[in-house]
Amino acid sequence: MGGAPATKLTRRAAVKAGVASLGMGLVSPLFAQGKSIVTTALGGVFEREFRKAVVDPFSKETGVEVKIKLGSPGEWLTNALVNRRRPEIDLLFLPYPENIRAVMEGICEPLVESDIPNLKYVHPAILAQFKGFGAGMDYVANAIAYRTDMVETPPKSWKDLWDPGYKGKLIIPDINAIGIWEMLVISARLHGGDEGNMDPSFAGLRALKPNVRKFYKSSVDLQQLLEAGEAGIAAVTPSNRGYDMVDSGKPIKFVIPSEGASIGMVSFHIAKNSPNADICKKFINFALSKRPQEDFGNGMNAGPTNSYAVLNDKARSRVPPIDSMLLFDWFKLVPQMGVLADRWNREIAG
């Protein structure tokens, strides 16, 4: 069915100097006492761990109040676009594809090492994802989860999902669910296409339909369907949610496909025209330092983007190294999303 879904990352040589300072945000105490910034965060466990690992320590060290705007990535991006001249949100914290859209819309300040020294410790391919206008905070692996009591032969690769033996057992994302764009690209690459040639994706998905029991609407829907035994295999399962199911005692395993897992990432973007850009830069530098990266990664079972951050044994066993992950060319994919969604509704969902 063609080659691997995407090209794996190549890790740069480790940075040689300055390791001793990596655990510190290097923010001068009380540099902005009484000031505040507005940022965003996903709710639930994500917000809790973000506050504990990054927001509260930064505020304690600097005196800056960090106000978190909850909601959805789409809402935050719309807010940023509508208020681009006078931003209400100083620092956008966005997942794919909204982070790429923010960069493409030209609403982000460039990030440079002279302002944010800890950028030098972030994997260069992650920085390249945002063309100098964003920095990834953490990452998870989007892979495959399956029920051991319903699947005799476990999937080992993305291409295994097309096995006729899985007829009626598979769930994949619907067009508005997290993971759908990764699923489309994976299908394209397995069938001879790529982000610039998405036609093969739809041929592949049409061939996959006999195996699909349901298109899930959200990651919560995915988890409920798999835990209830209404499906045997779930594609594009985030690793943190997959291991939540494993830890709950359900007969579920999480598998990294042989081709690699796609990477899910949340990234920082400073709003152009924010009057608090200097504080945002210090906040990003703090968030990318060793200790906050480790604390947040351990709390979320997510991978750090700082090359020197070291997770505890449990978290490290659950997050593949960045070098083994798959990144896609979102700048080719995002402009096609409207057309691809229409095709999905006509050719796949119908």
249 and 277 in a single domain? The answer is no
Instruction: At 135, list the tokens.
Output: 């920095």
* Alpha helices, DSSP H, located in the chain: 45-50, 56-62, 73-82, 98-104, 124-128, 180-190, 199-208, 219-227, 239-247, 277-287, 290-300, 313-318, 330-333, 337-343
Give me the mean pLDDT over the 57-71 stretch. 96
- For the cut 90, the answer to whether the pLDDT of residue 7 exceeds it is no
pLDDT of residue 131: 96
pLDDT of residue 243: 93
3-state secondary structure at position 211 = helix
246 and 279 in a single domain? The answer is no
Q: What are phi and psi of 248, to 5 degrees?
A: -75, -5
- Whether 31 is in a domain gets the answer yes
- Whether 171 is in a domain gets the answer yes
| Tally of CB atoms within 10 A around 14 | 9
Check: CB of residue 219 under 8 Å from CB of residue 241.
yes
116, containing H or E segment: none
Range of the structural domain that residue 343 is part of:
141-262+330-348
Give me the mean pLDDT over the 74-100 stretch. 97
> Residues 199-240: pLDDT tens digits?
999 999 999 999 999 999 998 999 999 999 999 999 999 998
- For the cut 70, the answer to whether the pLDDT of residue 72 exceeds it is yes
258 and 170 in a single domain? The answer is yes
161 and 24 in a single domain? The answer is no
176 and 30 in a single domain? The answer is no
pLDDT of residue 33: 54
| Tally of CB atoms within 10 A around 268 | 25
Return the residue matching tokens 């990764």.
182
Which letter does DSSP use for residue 335 in this model? G
75 and 146 in a single domain? The answer is no
Give me the mean pLDDT over the 67-88 stretch. 97
Report the percentage of the chain scoring pLDDT > 70: 90
Burial class (CB in 10 A: 0-12, 13-18, 19+), 60: exposed
CA 33/CA 211 separation, integer angstroms: 58
Nearest Cα to Cα of residue 184 among 35, 18, 330, 13: 330
- Whether 82 is in a domain gets the answer yes
Instruction: At 41, list the tokens.
Output: 């965060």
Q: Could you tell me the CATH number of the domain that includes residue 98?
A: 3.40.190.10
Predicted structure pTM score:
0.89
> How does the average pLDDT of the chain come out, rounded?
91
76 and 123 in a single domain? The answer is yes
- Whether 5 is in a domain gets the answer no
- Whether 97 is in a domain gets the answer yes
Instruction: At 210, list the tokens.
Output: 């006999």
How far lies 148's CA from each of 92, 99, 266, in Å? Answer: 40, 36, 31
CA 64/CA 46 separation, integer angstroms: 21
Number of domains, the chain: 2
Give me the mean pLDDT over the 68-87 stretch. 97
Q: How confident is the model at residue 47 (pLDDT cuts 50, 70, 90)?
A: very high
Burial class (CB in 10 A: 0-12, 13-18, 19+), 273: middle
> Residues 140-183: pLDDT tens digits?
999 999 999 999 999 999 999 999 999 999 999 999 999 999 99
Q: How confident is the model at residue 34 (pLDDT cuts 50, 70, 90)?
A: low
The per-residue b/e assignment along 71-104, b for 16 or more CB within 10 angstroms, e otherwise, is eebeebbebbeeeeeebebbbbbbebbbbbbbbb
- Whether 157 is in a domain gets the answer yes
CA 161/CA 158 separation, integer angstroms: 6
58 and 45 in a single domain? The answer is yes
HSE, CB side, 13 Å, CA atoms: give it for residue 149.
9
